[in-house]
Amino acid sequence: MSKNVEILRRLVDAFYRRDNEAALALMDPEMEFHSALVEKETYHGYAGLGQYRQDLDAAWSEWRSEDDRFLEASQEQVLHLYRIVGVGRGSGTPVQQDIAILWTLRRGKVLRGEVFLDQADALDAAGLQKQPHGP
């Protein structure tokens, strides 16, 4: 497993454990995150991580990821393919959707994340051919 893939695995784990200190230690101070899940917002810097968490919690009463896969796209990019599973806070509607995040790293820190609602689009953006689903 590459160093960048390991960094992203640790970031995702810290985010789901709500360990902001561990997550921030892996992020570049100039981090930007382009969400497609919460009003297509862009979140900036360390404060952006906290705001993103608040926005997710406001939109979903429950949410988690499943079937997480990490593919090295280049020396600076890692593609995270997964399924988001949740329940809408206001509607109570269950949601399952395969999505992806293309992550860019700089000097061993996470600099940018861009969410894709279509994994095929994410694979194209990462310069990877569509790969079969699985470990």
Q: What is the pLDDT of residues 29-40, one digit of tens each?
A: 999 999 986 667
| Single-letter amino acid, residue 110 | V
pLDDT band for position 50 (50/70/90)?
Answer: confident
Q: Write down the pLDDT at residue 71.
A: 96
Residue 70 in any domain: the answer is: yes
pLDDT (tens digit per residue) in 85-102: 999 998 999 999 999 999
Q: Write down the pLDDT at residue 112.
A: 97
Instruction: Provide mean pLDDT across the span 100-125.
Output: 96
Q: Write down the pLDDT at residue 107.
A: 94
Compute the distance between CA of residue 84 and CA of residue 12 in angstroms, rounded to an integer.
13
Residue 134 in any domain: the answer is: no
Instruction: Provide mean pLDDT across the span 61-89.
Output: 94
Residue 135 in any domain: the answer is: no
Residue 87 in any domain: the answer is: yes
Instruction: Provide mean pLDDT across the span 4-21.
Output: 94
User: What is the 3-class SS of the chain, one letter each residue?
Assistant: CCHHHHHHHHHHHHHHCCCHHHHHHCEEEEEEEECCCCCCCEEEHHHHHHHHHHHHHHHEEEEEEEEEEEEECCCCEEEEEEEEEEEECCCCCEEEEEEEEEEEEECCEEEEEEEECCHHHHHHHHCCCCCCCCC
Domain count, the chain: 1
Instruction: Provide mean pLDDT across the span 111-124.
Output: 96
pLDDT band for position 129 (50/70/90)?
Answer: confident
Instruction: Provide mean pLDDT across the span 48-62.
Output: 88
Q: Whole-prediction pTM value?
A: 0.88
Residue 31 in any domain: the answer is: yes
**Residue 31: which CATH number?**
3.10.450.50
Q: Write down the pLDDT at residue 39.
A: 67
Q: Which domain holds residue 91?
A: 3-126
Residue 112 in any domain: the answer is: yes
Instruction: Provide mean pLDDT across the span 104-127.
Output: 96
Compute the distance between CA of residue 109 and CA of residue 8 in angstroms, rounded to an integer.
9
